[in-house]
Structure 1
Amino acid sequence: MTNNHAPRTPSGRPCISHSGSPAEPQITLRSPAELADALPYMLGFHPTDSLVLVAVHGEGGRFGGRLRLGIPPSPEEWEDTARQVAECLVQGSERRAGKPDGIIVFLCQDPGAGESGQRVMTRLRPLAQRIRLACGALDVPVLEALCLSAGRYWSYCCPDERCCPAEGTVLAAGGTSVAAAAATFAGLRIRGSLRELEGRLAPLRGPVAAEMERALDRAAAALVPKILDGATRQEVGAETVTLARTLMRRLTLAPPVEGGPCADDWDDALLGHDEAAALILGLQDRETRDIAAEWMEDEEAAPALRLWRALARRCVGAYGEHAAAPLTLAGWVSWSTGDEPTARIAFGLALQADAEYRFAQLLHHACNEGIDPEGLRACLRAERKRREPGSKRRSAVRPPGRREPKPARRDPRRTARSDR
Structure 2
Amino acid sequence: MDPECTLTVRSSADFIAVTPYLLSFHPDDSIVVIGTVGSRVTFAARHDLLAPDHAGVTSIARLVAAQRLQEAAVLGYGRPEAVIRTLEVLGDELVRHGVPVRDQLRITDGRWWGLGCTSPTCCPPEGKPVPGPDSAVAASAIFQGQVALPNRAALIAQVAPAEGEERERMADLTVDVCTRFMAAGWSGPALEKAGRRLVRRAERRYAAGRALTPEEIAELGVALAHPAVTGHTLDNSRDEPWRIALWTDVTRRVDPFWVPGPACLLAYVAWRAGMGALARVAIDRALVQDPDHRLSRTFDRLLAAGISHDAVANLKPPRARSSRR
Q: In structure 1, which of residues 277, 291, 295 is the aligned counterpart of residue 218 of structure 2?
A: 277
Paired with 1:122 and 1:332, the residues of 2 have a C-alpha distance of 37
Q: Aligned AA for 1:69?
A: R
Other structure's SS at 1:128 match: helix
Q: How far off is 1:174 after superposition?
A: 1.1
Residues 1:310 and 2:263 are matched in the alignment: no
| Superposed CA offset, 1:372-414 (max 9, x none) | 389439x9xxxxxxxxxxxxxxxxxxxx6536xx6xxxxxxxx
Other structure's SS at 1:293 match: helix
| Superposed CA offset, 1:105-154 (max 9, x none) | 11235xxxxxxxxxx23343222222123224335453322233443323
Is 1:226–1:233's contact at 8 Å kept on the other side of the alignment? no
Q: Aligned AA for 2:268?
A: W
Q: Which residue of 2 aligns with 1:39?
A: 19
Other structure's SS at 1:172 match: coil
Other structure's SS at 1:38 match: helix
Paired with 2:217 and 2:171, the residues of 1 have a C-alpha distance of 11
Residues 1:75 and 2:51 are matched in the alignment: yes
Classify 1:161/1:294 alpha carbon distance in 2 versus 1 (closer, same or farther; 3 Å).
same
Structure having greater relative contact order (Cα 8 Å, sep ≥ 6): 2
Paired with 2:170 and 2:116, the residues of 1 have a C-alpha distance of 51
Classify 1:247/1:34 alpha carbon distance in 2 versus 1 (closer, same or farther; 3 Å).
closer
Q: Aligned AA for 1:93?
A: Q
Paired with 1:279 and 1:373, the residues of 2 have a C-alpha distance of 30
Alignment of 1:381-396 (within 5 A): none
Classify 1:36/1:84 alpha carbon distance in 2 versus 1 (closer, same or farther; 3 Å).
same
Q: Aligned AA for 1:173?
A: G
| Superposed CA offset, 1:193-225 (max 9, x none) | 2634443222223342343344445545665x7
Classify 1:123/1:335 alpha carbon distance in 2 versus 1 (closer, same or farther; 3 Å).
closer
Alignment of 1:216-365 (within 5 A): 216-219=174-177, 232-255=187-210, 267=211, 270-272=212-214, 274-297=215-238, 301-315=240-254, 317=256, 319=257, 322-336=258-272, 339-340=273-274, 342=275, 344-352=276-284, 353-354=286-287, 357-360=293-296, 365=302
Paired with 1:251 and 1:159, the residues of 2 have a C-alpha distance of 55
Q: CA RMSD in A?
A: 4.1
Other structure's SS at 1:148 match: strand
Residues 1:87 and 2:62 are matched in the alignment: yes
With the length of structure 2 as denominator, give the TM-score of the two structures: 0.75
Q: Which residue of 2 aligns with 1:369?
A: 307
Other structure's SS at 2:74 match: strand
Q: Which residue of 2 aligns with 1:259?
A: none
| Superposed CA offset, 1:66-103 (max 9, x none) | 2413415x825x6122221112101x124xx6xx4x43
Percent identity between matched residues is 17
Residues 1:159 and 2:118 are matched in the alignment: yes
Paired with 2:163 and 2:109, the residues of 1 have a C-alpha distance of 28
Alignment of 1:166-245 (within 5 A): 166-177=125-136, 179-180=137-138, 190-193=146-149, 195=152, 196-219=154-177, 232-245=187-200
Q: Aligned AA for 2:111?
A: R
Q: In structure 2, which of residues 102, 120, 126 is the aligned counterpart of residue 143 of structure 1?
A: 102
| Superposed CA offset, 1:26-80 (max 9, x none) | 93523x3232123245x263442342112355xxx645542413415x825x612
Paired with 1:345 and 1:222, the residues of 2 have a C-alpha distance of 37
With the length of structure 1 as denominator, give the TM-score of the two structures: 0.61
Q: How far off is 1:180 after superposition?
A: 4.6
Paired with 2:183 and 2:114, the residues of 1 have a C-alpha distance of 59
Classify 1:79/1:333 alpha carbon distance in 2 versus 1 (closer, same or farther; 3 Å).
same
Q: Aligned AA for 2:43?
A: R
Q: How far off is 1:252 after superposition?
A: 4.5
Paired with 1:292 and 1:173, the residues of 2 have a C-alpha distance of 40
Q: Which residue of 1 aligns with 2:75?
A: 106
Residues 1:122 and 2:52 are matched in the alignment: no
Is 1:244–1:279's contact at 8 Å kept on the other side of the alignment? yes
Paired with 2:313 and 2:36, the residues of 1 have a C-alpha distance of 29
Q: How far off is 1:286 after superposition?
A: 1.1
Q: How far off is 1:158 after superposition?
A: 1.9
- Unpaired runs of 5+ residues, structure 2, are none
Q: How far off is 1:311 after superposition?
A: 0.9
Is 1:53–1:104's contact at 8 Å kept on the other side of the alignment? yes
Larger radius of gyration: 1
Other structure's SS at 1:209 match: helix
Residues 1:51 and 2:31 are matched in the alignment: yes
